[in-house]
Amino acid sequence: MPEVLFLCTGNYYRSRLAEALFNDAAERRGLAWRAFSRGLATHLAPPFGLSPVTTAELQRRGIPFSRTSANPQQVVEADFQRAARVIAVKETEHRPLMAKLHPAWEKRITYWQVDDLDCAPPEVGIAGIEANVNALLAELTGIAPA
């Protein structure tokens, strides 16, 4: 089954929400894709758990926590090789990290522009993640978002 890798800085909020939304929608649609997520600098986030924003949003939508990993995880080379698609959730934040930490992959991935909580309120970030996930699902299926 092909996989999408979602990247953010700490693998605590944005990439985990994208992973859960994607996996929930893919399963409901019978899409033969799954997602996983990782962080480029997980030392900057809490080592355990899930962002309260992501937790609240998944609860609000009735999406099981099993649609994302239990704890933040640092990206490693094998993750890039495993993924059919790699998406970093904010180009201005993540392209420089990719260039420094994983230069061979910097220009081979897709970049979105979804702000973290220090730049935008949760409802803006959540809406951005949802819109991008829906566009990705539409691209993969050739069907307009539900």
pLDDT in tens, the chain (146 residues): 999 999 999 999 999 999 999 999 999 999 999 999 999 999 998 888 899 999 999 999 999 999 999 899 999 999 999 999 999 999 999 999 999 999 999 999 999 999 988 899 899 999 999 999 999 999 998 765 55
For the domain that residue 75 is a member of, what is the CATH number?
3.40.50.2300
Q: Is 126 part of a structural domain of the chain?
A: yes
Q: Are 40 and 94 in contact (CB under 8 A)?
A: yes
Q: How many helices (H) and strands (E) does the chain have?
A: 5, 4
Other beta carbons within 10 Å of 114: 27
Number of domains composing the chain: 1
Residue in the structure block whose two tokens are 């959730």? 89
Please indicate, yes or no, if residue 146 is contained in any of the structural domains. Answer: no
Pairwise CA distance, residues 109 & 37, whole Å = 14
Instruction: For residue 76, tell me if it sits in a domain.
Output: yes
* Residue 32: per-residue pLDDT: 92
Whether residue 133 is contained in a domain is answered as yes
Judge whether 60 lies within some domain: yes
Residue 115 domain-assigned (yes or no): yes
Enclosing domain of residue 103: 3-141
Residue 47 domain-assigned (yes or no): yes
What pTM value is reported for the model? 0.94
Rounded (5°) CA angle 119-59-121: 15
